[in-house]
Structure 1
């Protein structure tokens, strides 16, 4: 046990520190800011692109419906970088005890200030024309995700730094609070936005021409390319399961680090799906959630719950299975993790770690072989039950079927280990009766 403690204690300490690391906590909260908005956009996108819709209501009616509902997803899901920027500005400023509303507004203004305001437009007669004073929505979505994240942190830092230095205009107490706060934010806002204006001007004289292309080529593209690979995905799943085994919330810890990459890949798929182009990425945020967490929670324990109810003989495991089933259907599996328990239980360590990795490999190759469509970028709540979530995420019945295959794989992986634990429990129960 002492050798195990020497191994686990540093891991637990590192995981706890990472989970409590403020920048990652702020980033996680910022992503959640857009959650209700993206759900709304996803619902309209699902309706507009429902399978066989044209066969049901006719091509003209389907086209009209798509045109009517299209702006809903564009105004929510396609400008996710804006929501991320607002969220980081708000939560960072709140953490530093600065006015969070002004922190969010300054962060957004700083992001827009370094965003190119012109784009080439194709002409009907051929050729292109440069149009000024216009934002390319691409820059407000997947392509601008890392600029929004880095820029929002930097802008919020500058705003709070100068505010804490008392570089503010203080108004008499008789002045209304809204006016007083505006004047207090004036000097920090002017300095912060001046810095970003100088950054914009400076990058105009570089080979990249703007901050967006620089960040995309130097930082975002390499990280996204690495994150979309099967190897990196397996390592992420392995880390999630390993951390959970030692009682740490692996999903929160790993997602805090990798969500920027997975969300960028998701937005790339969404933009392709909306435009009717070929969807580029297998690994996305929905791939991770729907085809891992979506099978009963972290560790895909729904298969184990079913085994406990129907195949185990011990009263303890049967009771845990019955209690965990209602929550497990909606992918909440803390009753299993702490009730079995899974934490620090060597008997089920192998299926706990191996089953999710096997399933990730199965789904990855099923998609790469064309047996299952890629995820479309539509946000599906992780609590959506199995089969339905797979259908919604891929806009196809194949997505639901492959989840059922995963469920069977989990059950097969868990069965011998669960029976071993069951025999141990039956023996203990017989001795204590």
Structure 2
């Protein structure tokens, strides 16, 4: 029994359990709820911070444009945790058979209830002022993401539990449905929010004074610090490639576990970019998507598709390459994964796993050295073609250049293995040979 046969069964078992886990599915769907909104915010942010914009229209005009478009990104990307809370409450309640719209509303209200409603403001003279009855927008974004996730799951679970216990007010059938549903949700909402009010009050007597700072210091900061390291990223990439090799959608499985960390890191970069301060994190959601998936899909197979389409001589390989090329330009590579195939194909397992790992190291050190700017936190759709996606994600042409370097590395890694496969097919099936 080969090495891959030995690990295939346990890997598939773990992968299927993660893929079918309800909590991870709800979390994944909830993150996607904000996708169209963050795309809108990203477009306006890209326009407002377009490279050399001040040289084209003047510094004053560029500043005015930035001020006019700034609220668009603030109202979408900077409050991502708000959308996450609504999504978790909605999808969790829907899965449990409860009214989802009330589940989403209660989850959001619970999150706001435990969020500090005061901001420390430092004046130009250095005086510190505490402004009450306001929400710090940072707590609605990256800093409050883990509180939002944990709190929304708890709030939705309490709401559904009390609803299933029939601790509700039943109205006659003659009452309009909207009114009846409101009364049905009344007692579950009150009980759920009472629990969160008690949590808020209890934390006021702790050294942290609120649950946000407690979760951030004890849970979120250590996890994001670990998730931002090169070692953790390489483990994640290796897991993605190995799961795909075994026939499981590695991207979905791994992302469902690590997306909370990567998204929090992305929002930290976005906050710094909007404030004009130094961007802190190399590894973010956009780092993973643009500089791994963005080179032709999982496994960075665009270069492999080009080799198949234009260098290999066997008819079968050329057809696979040319059929996969249009989709591959937009980072959709299922045609080559299942058409070559990549799945359970020991001939190409080495470049399939090694090429992405090499490229992640190249991009990481290029960004760490300052050769390539860090990702700004702008959401770039993963289907955006190579070079353009890298440039948009980093707000620099160097982001596109490093993607072309990655493409060349993948080409070099895949070429000898695909040529070997091509020669073997030409030997075994010479009647399929056509002139290149």
TM above 0.5, yes or no, is: yes
Question: For 1:251 and 1:432, how far apart are their aligned partners in 2?
Answer: 35
Aligned residue for 2:294? 294
SS of the aligned residue for 1:240 comes to helix
Q: Alpha carbons of 1:183 and 1:204: their partners in 2 closer, same or farther (altered >3 Å)?
A: same
SS of the aligned residue for 2:18 comes to helix
SS of the aligned residue for 2:134 comes to coil
**What is the Cα deviation at residue 152 of structure 1?**
0.3
Question: For 1:135 and 1:399, how far apart are their aligned partners in 2?
Answer: 35
**What is the Cα deviation at residue 426 of structure 1?**
1.3
Question: For 1:255 and 1:3, how far apart are their aligned partners in 2?
Answer: 26
Aligned residue for 2:44? 44
Runs of 4+ in 1 over 6 A off after TM superposition: none
Question: For 2:105 and 2:432, how far apart are their aligned partners in 1?
Answer: 64
Question: For 1:322 and 1:147, how far apart are their aligned partners in 2?
Answer: 47
Aligned residue for 1:222? 222
Query: Any gaps of 5 or more consecutive residues in structure 1?
Result: none
Contact 2:15/2:253 (<8 A) preserved: yes
Q: After superposing the two structures, state which structure 1 stretch, 306-315 or 369-378, moved more.
A: 306-315
Question: For 1:120 and 1:311, how far apart are their aligned partners in 2?
Answer: 63
Deviations 1:265-295 (A, max 9, x none): 0000000000000000000000000000000
Question: For 2:185 and 2:162, how far apart are their aligned partners in 1?
Answer: 9
Please say if 1:361 is aligned against 2:374: no
Question: What's the TM-score once normalised by structure 1's chain length?
Answer: 0.99
Contact 2:30/2:84 (<8 A) preserved: yes
Aligned residue for 1:303? 303
Aligned residue for 1:339? 339
Question: For 1:129 and 1:17, how far apart are their aligned partners in 2?
Answer: 50
Aligned residue for 2:241? 241
Q: After superposing the two structures, state which structure 1 stretch, 5-14 or 16-25, moved more.
A: 5-14
Q: Alpha carbons of 1:39 and 1:96: their partners in 2 closer, same or farther (altered >3 Å)?
A: same
Question: For 1:70 and 1:131, how far apart are their aligned partners in 2?
Answer: 23
Q: After superposing the two structures, state which structure 1 stretch, 414-423 or 193-202, moved more.
A: 414-423
Aligned residue for 1:259? 259
Aligned residue for 1:159? 159
**What is the Cα deviation at residue 74 of structure 1?**
0.1
**What is the Cα deviation at residue 408 of structure 1?**
0.3
Question: For 1:389 and 1:26, how far apart are their aligned partners in 2?
Answer: 28
Contact 2:315/2:432 (<8 A) preserved: no
The correspondence of residues 316-331 of structure 1 with structure 2, limited to 5 A, is 316-331=316-331
Contact 2:314/2:432 (<8 A) preserved: no
Aligned residue for 1:139? 139
The correspondence of residues 128-207 of structure 1 with structure 2, limited to 5 A, is 128-207=128-207
Aligned residue for 2:277? 277
Aligned residue for 2:77? 77
Question: For 2:401 and 2:411, how far apart are their aligned partners in 1?
Answer: 16
**What is the Cα deviation at residue 5 of structure 1?**
4.1
Aligned residue for 1:111? 111
Question: For 1:432 and 1:321, how far apart are their aligned partners in 2?
Answer: 15
SS of the aligned residue for 1:143 comes to coil
Aligned residue for 2:314? 314
**What is the Cα deviation at residue 3 of structure 1?**
7.3
SS of the aligned residue for 2:144 comes to helix
SS of the aligned residue for 2:81 comes to helix
The correspondence of residues 376-415 of structure 1 with structure 2, limited to 5 A, is 376-415=376-415
**What is the Cα deviation at residue 428 of structure 1?**
2.4
SS of the aligned residue for 1:303 comes to helix
SS of the aligned residue for 1:170 comes to coil
SS of the aligned residue for 1:300 comes to coil
Q: After superposing the two structures, state which structure 1 stretch, 272-281 or 415-424, moved more.
A: 415-424
Q: How many residues align?
A: 433
Query: Any gaps of 5 or more consecutive residues in structure 2?
Result: none
Deviations 1:178-201 (A, max 9, x none): 000000000000000000000000
Contact 2:265/2:281 (<8 A) preserved: yes
Contact 2:426/2:432 (<8 A) preserved: no
Question: For 2:46 and 2:283, how far apart are their aligned partners in 1?
Answer: 20
Question: What's the TM-score once normalised by structure 2's chain length?
Answer: 0.98
Q: Alpha carbons of 1:118 and 1:346: their partners in 2 closer, same or farther (altered >3 Å)?
A: same
Question: For 2:6 and 2:125, how far apart are their aligned partners in 1?
Answer: 72
